Amino acid sequence: MPHSHHSHSGQFCKHASGSLEEVVLEAIHQQFQLYGLTEHVPRYRLVDLYPEEAGETTDSLAKQFERFLVEAHRLKTHYASQITILVGLETEYITGQDFDGLDSLLQKFGDRVEYVVGSVHHVDGIPIDFDQVTYERALHNFGDGETNAQEVFLSAYFDAQYQLLQRFKPEIVGHFDLCRLYTPDLRFLEYPSVWEKITRNVEYAIGYGALFEMNAAAFRKGWETAYPGKDILILNRGGRFALSDDSHGPRFVGLNYHRLLDYLHAQGITDIWLLQPSKTSNAAGRSIRPVKFDGEWLGHEFWHGRPTQA
């Protein structure tokens, strides 16, 4: 039975679909063993809201996140005999205010937030995964026509990621190379200063015990691989991987997990890891730890029934 550590629902995320319970029921239907519910944390400036969030306020986003935690824990209890549900969150980093807000949120809710998916979706305050036009605006923000604009853009992304890793020590490193969403053929080795930052980030995350997600959402975004791409050196440095579908509604649960299996095989990954509650605190002070999955996952029976397209 497969796992996922990263998901969203239309109930608590405007660019997703379906209710949180529908997502859980689909995961049960597909015989998931473990499923993580990780809605986005609130944003703290009106300028950072997306077009589909017209009419929302920063206060309403904060209340929405609180409702998510209530519903997620209800589902965790209600379906405990059928599936293991973990309740976490996915980070944002737009300005320093987001980090301060996350600090306050984690203090407020304590162990009701069981783990953190550490993700970066903005560079220099501009979204990089909304659409290609906005992505290119973020890139050009570092200079039009300058040969090093791409390198400076990528460096800014991995510097933001490093700050996130240092401050919150997320248990799951989310879509590590989202910064090349619209340029999947880009190779980081062509930018030596960027490669140094990638190496730094990978080694730091490994050092405190993070898991790197193998995120199947890249396939539905047109990639031939999952996130991270083939050139990331995580495995060579002893990094450990967890599975994520990054679903945005019930029809995306388990999407392209067949392709994810093939990709894992191709990358020589023989072990997968998952999170489970722990009686002792981890490096971030949360009561959860990574464990190696001790069942059979290399055969297709582990992935049976996974949908391959939305």
Per-residue pLDDT, 306: 58
Summarize pLDDT for 195-253 with one digit per residue, the tens: 999 999 999 999 999 999 999 999 999 999 999 999 998 988 999 999 999 999 999 99
**35, 74, 147: which is closest to 139 by C-alpha?**
147
Over residues 14-22, mean pLDDT: 95
CA dihedral sign, ordered 138, 141, 142, 144: positive
Q: How far apart are CA 269 and CA 305, in angstroms?
A: 22
Q: Is the pLDDT of residue 277 over 80?
A: yes
The runs of H, that is alpha helices, within the chain are 20-29, 58-78, 96-109, 132-140, 149-168, 192-208, 217-220, 257-266
Q: For residue 266, how many other CB atoms are within 10 A of its CB?
A: 10
How many structural domains does the chain have? 1
Place of tokens 């489970």: 276
Structure confidence at residue 142 as a pLDDT band (50, 70, 90)? confident
* pTM metric for this prediction: 0.95
Per-residue pLDDT, 189: 94
Question: 236 or 110: whose pLDDT is higher?
Answer: 110
Residue 226 within any structural domain of the chain: yes
Residue 25 within any structural domain of the chain: yes
Summarize pLDDT for 38-71 with one digit per residue, the tens: 999 999 999 999 999 988 999 999 999 999 999 9
The tokens describing 79, both together, are 């379906």
Domain that holds residue 30: 3-303
Give the bridge partners for 276, in sequence order: 289
Summarize pLDDT for 163-187 with one digit per residue, the tens: 999 999 999 999 999 999 999 999 9
Q: What is the DSSP string of 3-51?
A: EES-EE-TTT-TTS-S-HHHHHHHHHHTT-SEEEE-PBPPPS-GGG--G
We report the CATH number of the domain holding residue 218 as 3.20.20.140
Residue 18 within any structural domain of the chain: yes
Q: For residue 7, how many other CB atoms are within 10 A of its CB?
A: 28
Residue 174 within any structural domain of the chain: yes
Residue 308 within any structural domain of the chain: no
Q: How far apart are CA 82 and CA 184, in angstroms?
A: 38
Contact 16, 52 (CB under 8 A): no
Residue 229 within any structural domain of the chain: yes
Q: Is the pLDDT of residue 133 over 70?
A: yes
